[in-house]
A and B are shown apart, each in its own frame.
Chain A
Amino acid sequence: MPAEILLKSLILLPCGVFLLISTLWLLHDHLSENATARFHGWTHALMVAITIALGWELWRSSEHVIHADFGEWFRVGDYHFRLAFILDRLSYPFVVLVTVLTSLVGSFSVRYLHRDPGFQRFFLLLRLFTVGSLVVFTADSLDSLVAGWELVGITSVLLIGFFQYRREPVRNALRVFATYRIADLNILIAVFLAHHQFHGSAWNELFTGSWPNSVPVPTGSVAGAIALLLVLAACGKSAQGPFLGWLARAMEGPTPSSAIFYGAISVHAGAYLLLRVEPLIRASAAATTVLIGVGLITAVVSTLIHRTSPDAKTSLAYACQTQLGIIFMEIGFGFTNLALIHAVGHAVVRTMQFLRTPSMLSDYHRVHAASGGNLGPTGGQYESILPQPIQIALYRIAFGRAFYDVVVDRFLIAGAKAVSRSLSWFEPNWLQTPHETAAPSASAPVSDRPARH
């Protein structure tokens, strides 16, 4: 089978399954848990088989690149949106991660979410996420990447608020959604700038040569601005720098979704974007400096917070941020192959760690018993070599989670609300509530018939 068809079917398969199951659900036809599990198993087995076949085709091809073109999605005059996909040495490891890890996490979730009222919803969102992440990692242009990027974002948020009958997950989902939207502005503006200045955003329009030896075509200040905006967008997805605080909030979702999103795929989408546009970043001193600086600061701050976090998942979230900070620095220094290996290895290990967190105490007791009760403390406490006042200061910073939430609440959210309140000046009182006693027409019948429903 031609490689192009394989790549197309890899993207279309989860998309079709998602549409089929959601239509069934809308028409009141529920799938049982067993049927869902079997359906998931077969779909993902097929996807893994296609991925292996694609790997073989990629290895056989002379240029180590596979293209799949769905043609123009739409066109208006000179502007067109081409739906094209690419599989190369950078995207293939991430595609393998997506197909293998979603299969594993799906199988894990069949038992983990057994009899949960949101069982079907979880698998629907998992499939939508699979579509989104495959689009991100195989996109042939920034335009297509944004489409997948947003799908990953929205599924991520809906899974954070998965336990919708509790207040905290809902509140945290809203906060994460807001962070995503603000961060995603950067990638949107970068895409528009790329179109505006360079008349396209496809990888072959932005770079010549194949990854990792590609060379950026656009140069100058606008190219630098685009690189900087993409760095900021990646920061949003990977919870780095100015978007530091959301990953811990995202831990409210079910553990399998935490594993796949925040241990493996979603957070590494930022690293993937940076690896893809690394030549563009390398050409801009400002973008490189910001990237290294953000990575360094996040790595240091996150590792401190990780050590003081009271619960396992939050601790893992900050540990994850630390590693992502290091990956960002590696990309900033130009060690792209190292960053790629680091990202893939980290994703796999972290997924395993997240999936083991619910049984961590049981694991500990088992190891403790196996060692005959002589289990020594783990890890070297390097911070103990620092003077005590510095240790205390660092502990305070870490315990307050770098005061990130306080700063955001007091200055950004409160500021936005103050501006919002001041704008109510343009809505005169006499127009708003002249008759406080008169309820809106929701409670009053508005027809000439008595109110009943």
Chain B
Amino acid sequence: METLSFPTLTVGLIAWIAGIVLSLRLPDQKQRRGVAAASALLSAVCALTTGLQVQRAHGMHLSDPWLGFLGADVKGALILTLLSAITAGLAILAPRRDCGGRALAGLLLIGASAQIAYCASNLRWFAIGWVLSVLPVCLSFFGGGLNLRPVTGFITVSTALGVGAMFALGSSPGAGVFALVLVAVAFRKGLFPVHSWLISAFERGPLLATGLLFNTHFGAALLTRPEVSPLFEKYPTALDLVSYSALFTALVTSIRCFTERTPRRLIALICLSQASFILAGLVTSNEAGVTGAWVHWLVVVTASTGLIAILRILEVRVMDVVKPEGQLGLAVRAPRLATGFLVCSLALIGLPGTLGYCAEDLLFHGALSSHPFLGVVLPLATAFNAINLFRLYSLLFLGVLPKRVIDVQDALNRERWPLVACILILVASGIAPGRIITAMSPASVTHHSGTSTPLSHP
């Protein structure tokens, strides 16, 4: 098996671990924030270097020379780079109250778990990554206590199901085991009708950490594993099942938004709806749809993180944001946050000029080719999400500023740069999407042919 010329994945993992340890031990908040951001950035650089090496090797899967159980292909490296960069961004812009040692360590642990899962050479390591990702929430790294108990219960059940399914898959892959895998995916991804725990986690949990956990998309990643892909060929009805399940989730959550007024719940429902498109695209079994799903994956990760971060920034500045009674008119005081929110929203729903447009264009074309009904309903769900995102934007940023809200700061310097980076990623890759789409495309071609999968060995 080909290996990387330098153990970048090992270095990345060590950076995560060092970051976690130092975040827990350092007493000073500034130092903690700096160390956490630096370790996540170093991991991002390592993932990027891995990606470049893989690209030079014509997209071949390369293993790490030191830790043989880690390896990556172009897609895995690209997603990992983005997730690591986003973890760094969150560590930089997190409000002070979210920068406790345990909270930062929790964020880094989720980032590290993503590296282990996305680079895992077998299902055992993928399962370890899955378990590590939920540990910070289950062990109350972010506080929450009693308030989060039902969510923690759901997460534990979904993790148990996932781990059970993965171990069973390793021994005897049959119909029952495949059904268990699908149930685990449904729980983890929050597919209808088991979507409510994720909304609750967004509503009452730590927003930044929940957003990061949501954006790991381990459920979708599990379906693209080489151990799972052949089962779709053996049981083709599962493709329809997953596809319609994703479709219902997208539609139901987008309709559900119409009667929601709480920003956190609105964001949760919209992100859930848009993220369901990824699954719908992955099971289209055609090149355009699968590539669209992968590109949409990147869009959802970037844009939803931008939205979640801005919402959290506003929450700590203005208490009314938690449960607004009317429009808050914050654009007057925080125009840059408003612009960031608008651009991320528009990218998420596919505005031309952003990567979201290319992703949805490919996704809808692919969906229409495989399931005409899917191709019609997905744009409808996007339209509903667009309406609800604009409703949320107007709720937060437009209208009359309440009299008690006297002074709200616009984006601080440490908040501005991650947000500008987020916008730049969405816009620059939207104007020139060729390289990203090409990077996401070739492995997708063989996704359902059984000869190769995007996240593991060819």
Check if B351 sits within 8 Å of A150, measured CB to CB. yes
Residue in B98, B151, B255, B387 whose CB lies within 8 Å of A447: B98
CB nearest neighbor in B for A124: B339
Instruction: Indicate whether A349 reaches chain B with its CB closer than 8 angstroms.
Output: no
CB-CB < 8 A to A370: which residues of B?
Answer: none
Known: A170-B327, A188-B379, A196-B368. A423 touches B256 (CB 8 A): yes
A401 to B390, CA, bound (A): 26
Residue in A77, A161, A432 whose CB lies within 8 Å of B288: A77
Instruction: Indicate whether A443 reaches chain B with its CB closer than 8 angstroms.
Output: yes
CB-CB < 8 A to A173: which residues of B?
Answer: 390, 394, 398
- The residues in B between 399 and 458 inclusive whose CB is less than 8 angstroms from any CB of A are 399-401, 420, 423, 433-434, 437, 441, 445
Q: Mark B115-155, 1 if CB is under 8 A from A, else 0.
A: 00000000000000000000000000011101101110010
Q: Mark B287-323, 1 if CB is under 8 A from A, else 0.
A: 1100110000000000000000000100111010110
Check if A73 sits within 8 Å of B327, measured CB to CB. no
CB nearest neighbor in B for A26: B420
Residue in B97, B192, B362 whose CB lies within 8 Å of A451: B97
CB nearest neighbor in A for B390: A177
CB-CB < 8 A to B380: which residues of A?
Answer: 185
- State how many residues of chain A have any CB contact under 8 Å with chain B: 69
Most buried by B among A193, A420, A421, A434: A420
> What are 26 A-B contacts with C-beta separation under 8 Å?
A74-B437, A76-B291, A76-B292, A76-B441, A117-B332, A146-B352, A147-B353, A173-B394, A185-B379, A189-B375, A192-B368, A420-B256, A427-B199, A427-B200, A428-B196, A431-B154, A431-B197, A438-B146, A441-B147, A441-B204, A442-B312, A442-B322, A446-B97, A448-B103, A449-B96, A453-B97
Instruction: Indicate whether A424 reaches chain B with its CB closer than 8 angstroms.
Output: yes
Known: A164-B399, A167-B400, A420-B256. A431 touches B97 (CB 8 A): no
CB nearest neighbor in B for A167: B399
Instruction: Indicate whether A419 reaches chain B with its CB closer than 8 angstroms.
Output: yes
CB-CB < 8 A to B391: which residues of A?
Answer: 174
Q: Mark B371-397, 1 if CB is under 8 A from A, else 0.
A: 000011001100100110011001001
CB B206 to nearest CB in A, in angstroms, measures 5
- The residues in B between 163 and 211 inclusive whose CB is less than 8 angstroms from any CB of A are 192-193, 195-197, 199-200, 203-207
Instruction: Indicate whether A182 reaches chain B with its CB closer than 8 angstroms.
Output: yes
CB-CB < 8 A to B288: which residues of A?
Answer: 76-77, 79
Check if A447 sits within 8 Å of B264, measured CB to CB. no
Supply 19 further A-B pairs (C-beta < 8 A) apart from A154-B351, A164-B397, A446-B143: A72-B434, A79-B362, A143-B361, A164-B331, A167-B399, A188-B364, A189-B379, A192-B368, A195-B368, A431-B150, A434-B147, A435-B147, A440-B204, A442-B312, A442-B322, A443-B322, A447-B99, A447-B102, A449-B97
CB-CB < 8 A to B98: which residues of A?
Answer: 446-447
Check if B390 sits within 8 Å of A439, measured CB to CB. no
CB-CB < 8 A to A148: which residues of B?
Answer: 352
Instruction: Indicate whether B29 reaches chain A with its CB closer than 8 angstroms.
Output: yes
Residue in A165, A188, A193, A446 whose CB lies within 8 Å of B332: A165
CB A396 to nearest CB in B, in angstroms, measures 32
A420 to B256, CA, bound (A): 4
A416 to B254, CA, bound (A): 11
A2 to B134, CA, bound (A): 61
Chain B contact residues (Cβ within 8 angstroms of A): what range? 35 or more
A120 to B219, CA, bound (A): 44
Instruction: Indicate whether B336 reaches chain A with its CB closer than 8 angstroms.
Output: yes
Check if B383 sits within 8 Å of A147, measured CB to CB. no
Known: A170-B399, A446-B97. A431 touches B200 (CB 8 A): yes
Residue in A72, A170, A193 whose CB lies within 8 Å of B398: A170
Check if A445 sits within 8 Å of B362, measured CB to CB. no
Instruction: Indicate whether B66 reaches chain A with its CB closer than 8 angstroms.
Output: no
Per CB-CB distance, the 10 closest pairs between chain A and chain B, nearest first, are A447-B100, A147-B352, A446-B143, A442-B315, A77-B287, A427-B196, A420-B258, A181-B383, A170-B398, A448-B100
CB nearest neighbor in B for A164: B398
CB-CB < 8 A to B193: which residues of A?
Answer: 426
CB-CB < 8 A to B387: which residues of A?
Answer: 174, 177-178, 181
Residue in B100, B433, B441 whose CB lies within 8 Å of A73: B433
Check if A449 sits within 8 Å of B99, measured CB to CB. yes
CB-CB < 8 A to B386: which residues of A?
Answer: 177, 181
A434 to B147, CA, bound (A): 8
Instruction: Indicate whether B161 reaches chain A with its CB closer than 8 angstroms.
Output: no
A146 to B350, CA, bound (A): 12
CB B328 to nearest CB in A, in angstroms, measures 11
Residue in A423, A432, A440, A444 whose CB lies within 8 Å of B255: A423
Instruction: Indicate whether A86 reaches chain B with its CB closer than 8 angstroms.
Output: no
Q: Mark B334-352, 1 if CB is under 8 A from A, else 0.
A: 0010010000001000011
CB A279 to nearest CB in B, in angstroms, measures 24
CB-CB < 8 A to B256: which residues of A?
Answer: 420, 423-424, 427
Instruction: Indicate whether A151 reaches chain B with its CB closer than 8 angstroms.
Output: yes
A167 to B395, CA, bound (A): 11
Instruction: Indicate whether B365 reaches chain A with its CB closer than 8 angstroms.
Output: yes
- The residues in A between 71 and 128 inclusive whose CB is less than 8 angstroms from any CB of B are 72-79, 81, 117
A382 to B102, CA, bound (A): 78
CB A228 to nearest CB in B, in angstroms, measures 14
A7 to B357, CA, bound (A): 24
Residue in B197, B206, B397 whose CB lies within 8 Å of A441: B206
A193 to B288, CA, bound (A): 15
Check if B322 sits within 8 Å of A417, measured CB to CB. no
Instruction: Indicate whether B93 reaches chain A with its CB closer than 8 angstroms.
Output: no
Residue in B264, B358, B394, B441 whose CB lies within 8 Å of A161: B394
A440 to B387, CA, bound (A): 26
Check if B259 sits within 8 Å of A154, measured CB to CB. no
A434 to B423, CA, bound (A): 37
Check if B257 sits within 8 Å of A441, measured CB to CB. no
Instruction: Indicate whether B156 reaches chain A with its CB closer than 8 angstroms.
Output: no
Check if A441 sits within 8 Å of B336, measured CB to CB. no
Instruction: Indicate whether B329 reaches chain A with its CB closer than 8 angstroms.
Output: yes
Instruction: Indicate whether A60 reaches chain B with its CB closer than 8 angstroms.
Output: no
CB nearest neighbor in B for A146: B352
CB nearest neighbor in A for B289: A76
Instruction: Indicate whether A410 reaches chain B with its CB closer than 8 angstroms.
Output: no
CB A249 to nearest CB in B, in angstroms, measures 14
Instruction: Indicate whether B51 reaches chain A with its CB closer than 8 angstroms.
Output: no
CB B20 to nearest CB in A, in angstroms, measures 15
CB nearest neighbor in B for A179: B387
A178 to B204, CA, bound (A): 29
Q: Mark B265-293, 1 if CB is under 8 A from A, else 0.
A: 00000000000000000000001100110
A177 to B388, CA, bound (A): 10
Instruction: Indicate whether B52 reaches chain A with its CB closer than 8 angstroms.
Output: no
CB B239 to nearest CB in A, in angstroms, measures 19
CB-CB < 8 A to A157: which residues of B?
Answer: 390
A421 to B312, CA, bound (A): 27
Check if A77 sits within 8 Å of B353, measured CB to CB. no
A196 to B205, CA, bound (A): 44
A10 to B445, CA, bound (A): 38
Known: A154-B351, A181-B383. A432 touches B200 (CB 8 A): yes
Residue in B96, B147, B255, B400 whose CB lies within 8 Å of A452: B96
CB nearest neighbor in A for B153: A431
Instruction: Indicate whether B7 reaches chain A with its CB closer than 8 angstroms.
Output: no
Instruction: Indicate whether A184 reaches chain B with its CB closer than 8 angstroms.
Output: yes
CB B42 to nearest CB in A, in angstroms, measures 23
A195 to B367, CA, bound (A): 12
Check if A196 sits within 8 Å of B394, measured CB to CB. no
CB nearest neighbor in B for A132: B352
